[in-house]
């Protein structure tokens, strides 16, 4: 699997505090079945990390994994808060894209409401040849509220990609996030599943657990491997396998995780 959203770099944001924490989290990724990640530190009001500092963090993390013998490939990236886009230069935005192709940027969805300025910002990114990937929209009240999925559908029809967080599918962020994630799956609105992992204790990867919740092994592989691989390679997404039939008990009626 390929994880396009993880806070893995040492001492940069609310991910691991040091290289030992980075190695421990990387080991957990490998044990979970992940071969490659895009390290995506926050770019937010609280963590206004520069692209240069992130590049340094990737170098440090790669060196730590090599020294520890952990076979996890690390691509560069960032999780950019939408309200920070306005202060970032075009050059910064290019430098904050996922992987080597400069074609995709991970955008943090606000938790409280639908991001009002999204269309403008996506337009600016499109002029730079960058496609936005909305991080964990299923955890936003703006998507969970009535009409929220339809807003997402409209944005997706204009080219927006989406990342659902693994723990949302397994119910670790509550019933509303899980219901929204399942509704997105049914409407073919999920581009990738990623971990948004921060550490091995409270926010471990759990990609394998989420893949098992998708309800179709073929679609789970597409969401966790085929689509993220195409994104880091800058390729078109391969054809999407069909969504599984809704679980008995209705669209949101999948059995709860034990
Ligand atoms: Fe994140």
Residue spans of the domains in the chain: they are: 2-233
pLDDT (tens digit per residue) in 138-147: 999 999 999 9
C-alpha span between 93 and 233 (Å, rounded): 18
Q: 95 CA to middle of ligand 1, Å? A: 18
- Strand-by-strand arrangement of the 192-194 sheet: 42-43, 79-81, 104-108, 131-135, 161-165, 192-194
Tell me the two tokens of residue 51. 């692209």
Residue owning tokens 């490659």: 36
In this prediction, what percent of the chain has a pLDDT beyond 70?
Answer: 95
C-alpha span between 256 and 169 (Å, rounded): 10
Measured distance between the N- and C-terminal CA atoms of the chain, rounded to whole angstroms: 24
Name residues with Cβ closer than 5 Å to ligand 1, which is an ion. Answer: 79, 196
Answer yes or no: are the C-beta atoms of 205 and 195 closer than 8 Å. Answer: yes
Q: 7 CA to middle of ligand 1, Å? A: 6
Q: 5 CA to middle of ligand 1, Å? A: 6
Q: 250 CA to middle of ligand 1, Å? A: 30
Structure pTM?
A: 0.94
In this prediction, what percent of the chain has a pLDDT beyond 90?
Answer: 90
C-alpha span between 40 and 163 (Å, rounded): 13
pLDDT at res. 115: 86
Residue 257 binned pLDDT confidence (cut-offs 50, 70, 90): very low
C-alpha span between 33 and 225 (Å, rounded): 10
Q: 108 CA to middle of ligand 1, Å? A: 7
pLDDT at res. 245: 79
> Chain-wide mean pLDDT for the chain?
93
Q: 248 CA to middle of ligand 1, Å? A: 32
Strands (E), 120-218: 131-135, 161-165, 192-194
pLDDT at res. 248: 53
Answer yes or no: are the C-beta atoms of 134 and 149 closer than 8 Å. Answer: no
Q: 197 CA to middle of ligand 1, Å? A: 7
pLDDT (tens digit per residue) in 44-99: 999 999 999 999 999 999 999 999 999 999 999 999 999 999 999 999 999 999 99
Residue 255 binned pLDDT confidence (cut-offs 50, 70, 90): very low
How would CATH label the architecture of 2-233? Alpha-Beta Barrel (3.20)
Mean per-residue pLDDT, 173-190: 96
Q: Maximum CA pair distance of the chain? A: 50
């Amino acid at each position: 699997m390929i994880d396009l959203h993880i806070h893995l770099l040492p001492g940069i944001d609310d991910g691991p505090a040091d290289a030992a924490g980075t190695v421990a989290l990387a080991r957990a990724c490998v044990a979970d079945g992940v071969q490659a990640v895009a390290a995506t530190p926050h770019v937010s009001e609280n963590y206004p990390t520069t692209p240069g500092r992130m590049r340094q963090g990737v170098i440090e993390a790669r060196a730590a994994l090599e020294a520890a013998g952990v076979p996890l490939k690390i691509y560069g990236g960032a999780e950019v808060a939408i309200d920070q886009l306005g202060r970032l230069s075009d050059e910064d935005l290019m430098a904050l894209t996922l992987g080597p192709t400069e074609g995709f940027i991970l955008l943090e969805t606000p938790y409280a409401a639908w991001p009002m300025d999204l269309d403008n910002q996506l337009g600016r990114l499109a002029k730079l040849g960058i496609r936005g990937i909305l991080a964990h929209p299923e955890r936003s009240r703006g998507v969970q509220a009535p009409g929220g999925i339809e807003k997402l559908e409209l944005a997706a029809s204009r080219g927006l990609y989406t990342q659902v967080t693994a723990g949302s599918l397994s119910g670790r962020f509550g019933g509303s996030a899980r219901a929204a994630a399942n509704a997105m799956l049914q409407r073919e609105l999920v581009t990738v599943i990623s971990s948004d992992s921060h550490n091995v204790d409270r926010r471990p990867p759990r990609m394998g657990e989420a893949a098992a919740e998708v309800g179709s092994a073929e679609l789970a592989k597409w969401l966790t491997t085929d689509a993220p691989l195409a994104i880091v390679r800058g390729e078109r997404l391969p054809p999407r396998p069909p969504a599984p039939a809704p679980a008995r008990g209705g669209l949101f009626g999948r059995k709860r995780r034990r």
